[in-house]
């Protein structure tokens, strides 16, 4: 009986211990070595078709699930690697030895993931894949996989970036000056947190909190803020950033707050939306009396649900609750509008069926993208042919039209792609309706 009791206690303590421990993370580096094998073969020829065969046979087909996930997430094709290798030989030669350093830099991540599980006990296991991409992502995730683009995540000022276009070169210079390998752990913990979240957000606000949650938890787990320019710039300019963010946070277009690294402006600070999300999450966490619950709420928030995201923002107290209606109204007032259609008369007068063009006039210059859809009447009432042509000042766009006599026409201009040039604010939707004469 005593032996059975002791055996039961041992089993109980073993079970409790196992429940409380994070399994060692699965970290895979094999894609790095496979890439360089393919690279060496590609460099033996100038024939792009043979280079394509090498990258396919020696890298892609032999790649890990992480490489396949990276290709899916970033829409990489074999041709992207061939192009990158051919265009930037000095870059690849100089980054090569540094990619091997990822193996030792990532080796110390396990204790910090253990700390992350202490902060959030339901933490699900994820695998970390260190790959070589085609220069568009230093880190992303797909499902339960952390995907690191080692060619961007390991650079420093010793890497030759002289072959790149000015915008890309400016981005790489800023990025490599930070020496991301020096703070490899916080950056990887940030990506690990992403595997736990339901996202991304639909609007700037949701995306900011989605990224800010990862930055805050990476800081809590490692004791170090994520080493990005926005983390030094943000606190010094929070007042003006907060005002600007408040007027733009309902925008579904991310380009002015996220993923805007390529700028030749020497004062440019990219990804300020990350800082705003971090600041909102930090405010939420500091105000919370129950810290574990606050962390759980951040991790389990549905970032695809705009109402849930707004409720989180209100609860954070980052903006006063009475300010929210005013901020929404201010956002709506700033959005560009359709002033009119030049060829259409004001009122209900009909137009000649011989009309061959329709010129839409906007309240301000627009970015060179369009989004037009059928109106309620569907395809039968669609008058336009081909693509729109913007005027030099970007305040009008002209479409060809094919019209029939005695017919009703309509089309809908939307804010999906129509957006203001300066701030990226979406167009207020506008249904255009008219009728042709006999």
Q: DSSP labels for 140-196?
A: EEETTEEEEEHHHHS--TTS--TTS-HHHHHHHHHHHHT-GGGGHHHHHHHHHHHTT
Nearest-10 Cα torsion for 202, 203, 206, 212: 120
Task: Looking at the structure, tell me whether residues 307 and 369 fall in a common domain.
Answer: no
Question: 357 φ, ψ to 5°?
Answer: -140, 150
DSSP state of 105: H
Task: Looking at the structure, tell me whether residues 241 and 155 fall in a common domain.
Answer: no
Cα 37–chain centre separation: 31
Nearest-10 Cα torsion for 302, 304, 310, 312: 20
Q: What pLDDT is attached to residue 19?
A: 39
Task: Looking at the structure, tell me whether residues 112 and 230 fall in a common domain.
Answer: no
Q: What pLDDT is attached to residue 22?
A: 52
Nearest-10 Cα torsion for 56, 62, 64, 68: 30
* C-beta of residue 437 within 8 angstroms of C-beta of residue 351: yes
What does the pLDDT profile of the chain (438 residues) look like in tens digits?
334 333 443 333 333 333 344 566 799 999 999 999 999 999 999 999 999 999 999 999 999 999 999 999 999 999 999 999 999 999 999 999 999 999 999 988 999 999 999 999 999 999 999 999 999 999 999 999 999 999 999 999 999 999 999 999 999 999 999 999 988 999 999 999 999 999 999 999 999 999 999 999 999 999 999 989 999 999 999 999 999 999 999 999 998 999 988 888 888 999 999 999 999 999 999 999 999 999 999 999 999 999 999 999 999 999 998 898 999 999 999 999 999 999 998 777 799 999 999 999 999 999 999 999 999 999 999 999 999 999 999 999 999 999 999 999 999 999 999 999 998 999 999 999 999 998
d(CA 112, CA 126): 14
Question: 411 φ, ψ to 5°?
Answer: -160, 155
Whether residue 312 is contained in a domain is answered as yes
Compute the radius of gyration of the chain from its Cα atoms: 27
Locate 27 and state its tokens.
């970290």
Q: How would you label 106-125 residue by residue, b for 16+ Cβ within 10 Å and e otherwise?
A: beebeebbbbbbebbeebee
Task: Looking at the structure, tell me whether residues 225 and 327 fall in a common domain.
Answer: yes
* C-beta of residue 205 within 8 angstroms of C-beta of residue 249: yes
Task: Looking at the structure, tell me whether residues 392 and 264 fall in a common domain.
Answer: no
d(CA 69, CA 65): 6
Task: Looking at the structure, tell me whether residues 249 and 343 fall in a common domain.
Answer: no
* C-beta of residue 318 within 8 angstroms of C-beta of residue 327: no
Whether residue 9 is contained in a domain is answered as no
Here the CATH number for the domain that contains residue 367 is 2.60.40
Q: What pLDDT is attached to residue 11?
A: 38
d(CA 174, CA 297): 34
- Total of domains in the chain: 3
Tell me the whole-structure pTM to 2 decimals.
Answer: 0.86
Task: Looking at the structure, tell me whether residues 38 and 158 fall in a common domain.
Answer: yes
Task: Looking at the structure, tell me whether residues 211 and 330 fall in a common domain.
Answer: yes
Cα 144–chain centre separation: 17
From 165, 189, 214, give the residue that closes a domain.
Answer: 165
From 150, 165, 180, give the residue that closes a domain.
Answer: 165
Whether residue 173 is contained in a domain is answered as no
Q: What pLDDT is attached to residue 41?
A: 98
Task: Looking at the structure, tell me whether residues 283 and 226 fall in a common domain.
Answer: yes
Whether residue 6 is contained in a domain is answered as no
d(CA 106, CA 94): 21
Task: Looking at the structure, tell me whether residues 275 and 405 fall in a common domain.
Answer: no
Task: Looking at the structure, tell me whether residues 31 and 138 fall in a common domain.
Answer: yes
* C-beta of residue 126 within 8 angstroms of C-beta of residue 146: yes
From 165, 184, 212, give the residue that closes a domain.
Answer: 165
Whether residue 176 is contained in a domain is answered as no
Nearest to 116 by CA among 265, 38, 223, 243: 223
Locate 226 and state its tokens.
């994520």
Strand partners, 430: 413
Nearest to 140 by CA among 66, 87, 79: 66
Whether residue 125 is contained in a domain is answered as yes
Distances in Å between the alpha carbon of 282 and those of 50, 287, 291?
Answer: 52, 9, 11
Task: Looking at the structure, tell me whether residues 319 and 359 fall in a common domain.
Answer: no
Whether residue 171 is contained in a domain is answered as no
* C-beta of residue 32 within 8 angstroms of C-beta of residue 45: no
Polymer length of the chain: 438
Kind plus residue range of the DSSP H or E element containing 404:
none
The domain in which residue 42 lies consists of 23-165
- For 42-96, the pLDDT digits (tens) are 999 999 999 999 999 999 999 999 999 999 999 999 999 999 999 999 999 999 9
Give 233's contacts (C-beta < 8 A, 6+ positions apart). Answer: 269, 272, 275
Whether residue 426 is contained in a domain is answered as yes
Q: How would you label 345-376 residue by residue, b for 16+ Cβ within 10 Å and e otherwise?
A: eeeeebbebeeeebbbebebbbbeebebeebe
């Amino acid at each position: 009986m005593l032996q059975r009791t002791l055996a039961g206690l041992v089993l109980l303590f073993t079970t409790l211990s196992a429940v409380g421990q994070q399994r060692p993370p699965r970290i895979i580096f094999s894609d790095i070595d496979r890439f360089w094998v393919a690279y060496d073969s590609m460099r033996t020829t100038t024939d792009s078709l043979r280079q394509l065969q090498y990258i396919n046979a020696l890298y892609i087909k032999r790649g890990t699930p992480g490489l396949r996930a990276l290709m899916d997430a970033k829409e990489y094709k074999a041709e992207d690697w061939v192009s990158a290798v051919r265009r930037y030989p000095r870059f690849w030669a100089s980054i090569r030895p540094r990619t091997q350093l990822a193996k030792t830099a990532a080796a110390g991540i396990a204790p910090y993931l253990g700390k992350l599980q202490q902060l959030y006990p339901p933490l699900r296991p994820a695998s970390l894949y260190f790959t070589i991409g085609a220069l568009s992502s230093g880190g992303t995730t797909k499902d339960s996989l952390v995907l690191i683009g080692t060619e961007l995540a390991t650079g420093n000022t010793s890497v030759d970036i002289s072959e790149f276009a000015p915008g890309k070169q400016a981005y790489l210079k800023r990025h490599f000056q930070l020496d991301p390998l020096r703070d490899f752990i916080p950056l990887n913990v940030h990506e690990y947190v992403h595997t736990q979240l339901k996202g991304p957000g639909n609007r700037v606000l949701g995306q900011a909190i989605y990224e800010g949650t990862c930055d805050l938890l990476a800081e809590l787990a490692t004791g170090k803020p994520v080493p990005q320019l926005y983390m030094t710039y943000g606190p010094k300019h929070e007042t003006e950033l907060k005002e600007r963010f408040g007027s733009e946070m309902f925008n579904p277009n991310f380009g002015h707050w996220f993923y805007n690294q390529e700028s030749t402006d020497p004062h440019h600070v990219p990804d300020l939306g990350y800082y705003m999300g971090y600041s909102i999450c930090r405010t939420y966490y500091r105000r919370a009396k129950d810290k574990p619950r606050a962390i759980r709420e951040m991790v389990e928030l549905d970032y695809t649900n705009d109402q849930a995201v707004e409720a989180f923002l209100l609860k954070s107290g980052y903006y006063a609750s009475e300010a929210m209606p005013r901020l929404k109204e201010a956002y709506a007032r700033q959005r560009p509008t359709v002033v009119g259609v030049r060829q259409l008369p004001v009122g209900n007068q009909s137009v000649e069926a011989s009309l061959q063009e329709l010129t839409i006039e906007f309240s301000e210059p627009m970015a060179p993208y369009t989004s037009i859809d059928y109106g309620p009447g569907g395809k039968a009432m669609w008058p336009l042919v081909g693509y729109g042509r913007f005027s030099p000042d970007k305040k009008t766009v002209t479409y060809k039209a094919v019209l029939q006599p005695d017919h009703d026409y309509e089309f809908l201009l939307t804010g999906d792609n129509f957006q203001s040039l300066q701030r990226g604010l979406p167009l207020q939707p506008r249904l255009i309706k008219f009728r042709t004469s006999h």
